Structure 1
Amino acid sequence: MEEKKELPQLSAEELRVLGSLLEKSKTTPEYYPMTVNSLQSACNQKTSRKPVVSYDENTIITTLDMLKKRGLVSTVVGGGSRVTKYKHNLAIHFPLLPSELAALCLLILRGPLTTGEINSNAGRLYEFETLDEVQELLNKLSTDEPAYVKQLPKRPGQKEARFVHLFGEVNEEDYDVPQMANHNDSQVQVLEDRVAILEEQLHTLRTEFDKLIAELT
């Protein structure tokens, strides 16, 4: 009988880096795998992230090394570029479907969410057809061995129960800070992705230029 894998317990930095790799593999596949520079921008996004962080390059590099040791991230070199890039291996270690990866990605990057919040925010990752489909998926993820998510008890004032991932400790109170509703959140994220792509292109050109100059001198 095949032994069931236990979920790794990841730090906040590991979760943010892994979640960002999961997200960008779907939202900007043309720039995936990711460089350290583009991954730093993805981790520090002001939208679709809770909490908002400001990681420096050393934090990204250190965290990638930790995830590589866990086997959750691997490097890619080649494809016409000399820059080292990174990709996640989550689906290699765990039998997760694209819809399940999408839900977990949202929970990792945004914290506890209701079924409706997962459904409304998943568009660029996976198109769920109904709320019932999301609920069935969460029920499955919470009863799998190992379980990937769990439902939190309703707290005073909450109309719907929220779900959390089980890849690391989640303190529900850390996500209770009120935030202004942003009806243009998806449009802002698209713009942030475009800016990140331009920054990545500029960074790559600078790197290639510096290497060319070094070879000529």
Structure 2
Amino acid sequence: MNHDFRQRPLSPAQARVLATLMEKARTVPDSYPLTLNSLHSGCNQKSSRDPVMNLSEADISAAIDTLRETSLVIESSGSRVTRYEHNFQRAVGVPEQSAVLLGLLMLRGPQTAGELRINADRWYKFLDIASVEAFLEELAERSDEKGGPLVVLLPKAPGAREARWAHLLCGAVEVPESCSPSPAVPGVDTALAERVAQLEARVEQLEKTLRELGA
């Protein structure tokens, strides 16, 4: 049965523990599953984390206990030291590519499709940005029968060229007022506004093509 994050969203600590296990399973397979000490270091590392956190071992143990209840994390047997591994794909019911994107969003916060493709390099090599976007759109349109959407496309921030995606595993995302769409202003030439929007879209498409050619 798929975990329903609308009924039981993750806490920030649980999301960090889960995503760290997902990361280390792919980047350091020889050291995986992780001991509590290794998990503690991974959760609190300064690189590839947004926000940087300072979780205690007690915080991590409490998060693990809750994650085990929902089968998102399982305890590894056959070792003198207790080790932990994630069970994300099976518990949530998503393919590897979707799990990679969700793990990155939990670890690094909201990102554009282009940033996700770059940051995923050690986890999974996506063919192009279009494939990243396809999996994100599939997660955003996930049916209620499967537990509902797991990501959302945020309104484009002022001055940003591309909109960022955020995960919904910790519940609904609060959008800062500065990122909210501006109300229509009376008297503005709508034809000009539409032309500017079209030009911006063409520039984004050209930049996307150049990135793909240079990849």
Aligned residue for 1:6, secondary structure, equals coil
8 A contact 2:45–2:52 mirrored in 1 = yes
1:93 & 1:4 partners in 2: Cα distance?
A: 6
Report the equivalent of 2:67: 67
For the residues of structure 1 that align with 2:127 and 2:90, how far apart are their CA atoms?
26
1:26 alignment partner, SS class: helix
Unaligned stretches of 5+ in structure 1?
177-217
> TM-score scaled to structure 1, two decimals?
0.74
The residue aligned with 1:33 is 33
Deviations 1:83-118 (A, max 9, x none): 011111111112211111111111000111001100
Percent identity between the aligned chains? 41
Runs (4+) off by over 3 Å: 169-173
State the 1:53 CA deviation: 1.0
Task: Tell me the CA shift for residue 54 of structure 1.
Answer: 1.4
Partner of 1:160: 162
2:151 to 149, 157, 161: 149
TM-score for both structures, normalised by structure 2: 0.74
Q: Counterparts of 1:100-111 in structure 2 under 5 Å?
A: 100-111=98-109
- Which one has a bigger Cα radius of gyration? 2
Partners in 1 of 2:84 and 2:99 — Cα distance? 18
Question: What SS does the corresponding residue of 2:136 show, helix, strand or coil?
Answer: helix
The one of the two structures with greater contact order (alpha-carbon pairs below 8 A, sep at least 6) is 1
Partner AA of 1:127 in structure 2:
K
Greater shift after overlay, 134-143 or 89-98? 89-98
Residue 140 of structure 1: SS of its match in structure 2? helix
C-alpha displacement of 1:56:
1.5
Runs of 5+ unmatched residues, structure 2: 180-215
Contact 1:17/1:43, CA 8 A, preserved across alignment? yes
8 A contact 1:49–1:110 mirrored in 2: yes
Q: Name the CA shift for 1:47/1:5 in 2 (closer, same or farther; >3 Å).
A: closer
Q: Structure 1 residues 44 and 141, CA, compared in 2 at 3 Å: closer, same or farther?
A: same
